[in-house]
Amino acid sequence: MFRKILIANRGEIAVRIIRACREMNIRTVAVYSEADREALHTQLADESICIGPAQPSESYLNMERMISTAIAVGADAIHPGFGFLSENPRFVELCEKYQIVFIGPTSELIQKMGNKSEAKNTMKQAGIPIVPGTEEPVYLAEEALKEAKRIGFPIMIKAALGGGGKGMRIARDEAEFSPQFHIAQEESLNAFGDDTMYLERYIQDPRHVEVQIMADRYGNVVHLGERDCSIQRRHQKMIEESPCPALSLELRKVMSDTAVCAAKAVGYENAGTIEFLLDKSGEFFFMEMNTRIQVEHPVSEMVSGFDLIREQIRVAQGMRLSVEQADISLRGHAIECRINAEDPVHNFMPCPGTIENLHLPGGNGVRMDSAVYKGYSIPPYYDSMIAKIIVHDRDRESAVKKMISTLEELRIDGIQTNLEFQYDILNHPDFQKGKFTTDFISSHYGM
Ligand code: MV4
């Protein structure tokens, strides 16, 4: 059994993990950068160690420093949260080498799913539906154009190591293809140091639907239903909900079962997400597998009553899943709004600063996952997300109402936030009808 866990992260997810450990009587070690001396995670953990300067590369991304700190404090395991080192196979190998348990899947699996093109091929082999496209990597525009003509326009050009929209371009026709290919490839080389590309048929205005799965090392896999994450801007999700308002009970079951099948096919362990694109006709395609706990995991926790972080820790200790699929019932509707310190009016520019006054709402079915407090100064070096509001109610209409009144009660003074923008979306008739796709924000707000 773990006695002590080092949390290799910051912000609200570090706080979330500390809380789960406390409930499980596991000691916590926070690591913090020089900019995070006053951060909430630094204050809440049993022990806190400064691991370097503010720049992420010098602190939260510093693998050697992270491992040596874990060894020095006698941690049994490291929880990586999301971002930072959470999907770095070399870091997982380093943990294995020094016999510190990495709370997540194996380095081999992270590596395999990190290559999006290879992941697709693996899933195709397992009978999972994928977007038609190239199976072999493409490097040259001329060679790629031949493939594009075979697949048919419009075409999505993607970086093999991409994900999250980087190194991704649409080519509407043959004339656009070569220039777009070069732009995407250049972006990929800059971002990932790799120019391996692949092509897909372009799916017009899809919904982003992802299924939460949880697996132990004995081949048991359960799902916690799906989340609709279509409300996003420039590949940054803003609102997530469960269940997806567009799914029939039948389609919901097919997608969830498909996700479990995908996880079993690759021998997955720990928490993971299978991302699908859902097109207008109700056809769905595997896109990517995320091999980490995700920002939006609370939405699934609220509809299932299941603690994903606790279960991650349990299965990482070699325990069996604490539940079978039949034990999981998905009840009601949950919605999450991400609160960012940013200015929607000025191109969502990050707006760090000091929180002069703060009121966080609560009440029946309201959950706040946050890392801020009155008087806290948000440092400029990290992600601008400062809090997540999650509400749960009996049905979607009630959950939307609850989110609206929760946003009305929330006060954050001293900094710019996206609060009003979130409020606007929640009140939009199309959002309220569940009528939206991934282009919702760009088409309704022109951003
Ligand atoms: C697509 C697509 C349409 N067709 N692939 C964006 C991020 C990356 N994970 C995959 N993405 C997309 N891939 C094909 N073949 C549309 C998107 C996409 C998108 C996907 C999910 C959520 C928001 C999105 C916003 C724009 C484009």
Q: 296: closest CA among 236, 338, 253?
A: 338
pLDDT tens column, 195-234: 999 999 999 999 999 999 999 999 999 999 999 999 999 9
Ligand 1: centre distance to CA 134 (Å) = 17
Q: Which of 276-285, 345-354, 382-391, 415-424 has the lowest mean pLDDT?
A: 345-354
Secondary structure (DSSP) of 197-244: EEEEEPPSS-EEEEEEEEE-TTS-EEEEEEEEEEEEETTEEEEEEES-
Ligand 1: centre distance to CA 198 (Å) = 14
CB 286 within 8 A of CB 120: yes
Nearest CA owner, ligand 1 atom 19: 438
Is the distance from the beta carbon of residue 104 to the nearest atom of ligand 1 less than 6 Å?
A: no
pLDDT tens column, 65-105: 999 999 999 999 999 999 999 999 999 999 999 999 999 99
The pLDDT value recorded for residue 163 is 82
Is the distance from the beta carbon of residue 62 to the nearest atom of ligand 1 less than 6 Å?
A: no
The pLDDT value recorded for residue 63 is 98
Give the SS3 label for residue 71: helix
Instruction: Answer yes or no: is pLDDT of 286 > 90.
Output: yes
Work out whether the CA dihedral 160, 163, 167, 169 comes out positive or negative.
positive
Is the distance from the beta carbon of residue 288 to the nearest atom of ligand 1 less than 6 Å?
A: yes
CA distance 37 to 295: 23
The pLDDT value recorded for residue 165 is 83
CA distance 195 to 436: 34
Nearest CA owner, ligand 1 atom 11: 165
- What residues act catalytically? 292
**Ligand 1 pocket test: which of 161, 187, 244, 277 has the largest number of ligand atoms within 8 Å of its C-beta?**
277
pLDDT tens column, 141-197: 999 999 999 999 999 999 999 987 889 999 999 999 999 999 999 999 999 999 999
The pLDDT value recorded for residue 392 is 99
For residue 268, how many other CB atoms are within 10 A of its CB? 25
Ligand 1: centre distance to CA 165 (Å) = 7
Is the distance from the beta carbon of residue 163 to the nearest atom of ligand 1 less than 6 Å?
A: yes
Region 24-53: mean pLDDT is: 98
Write down the pTM of the prediction: 0.97
Helices 107-114 and 89-97, axial angle in degrees (round to 10): 170
Is the distance from the beta carbon of residue 238 to the nearest atom of ligand 1 less than 6 Å?
A: no
Is the distance from the beta carbon of residue 200 to the nearest atom of ligand 1 less than 6 Å?
A: yes
Atom of ligand 1 nearest to the CA of 288: 9
* CA 201 distance to own-chain centroid: 24
CA distance to 98, 211, 256, per residue, from 215 (Å) = 24, 13, 14
Helices 141-151 and 174-192, axial angle in degrees (round to 10): 120
Ligand 1: centre distance to CA 296 (Å) = 18
Q: Nearest-5° angle of CA 325, CA 329, CA 331?
A: 155
Region 332-353: mean pLDDT is: 95
pLDDT tens column, 115-148: 999 999 999 999 999 999 999 999 999 999 999 9
Give the amino acid at 120. K
CB 56 within 8 A of CB 32: no
Whole-number percent of the chain with pLDDT over 90: 98
Region 395-402: mean pLDDT is: 98
Atom of ligand 1 nearest to the CA of 163: 9
Q: 285: closest CA among 172, 209, 197?
A: 209
CA distance 161 to 239: 26
Ligand 1: centre distance to CA 268 (Å) = 24
The CA R_g of the chain, rounded to the nearest whole Å, is 21
pLDDT-derived band at 447, boundaries 50, 70, 90: confident
Across the chain, mean pLDDT equals 97
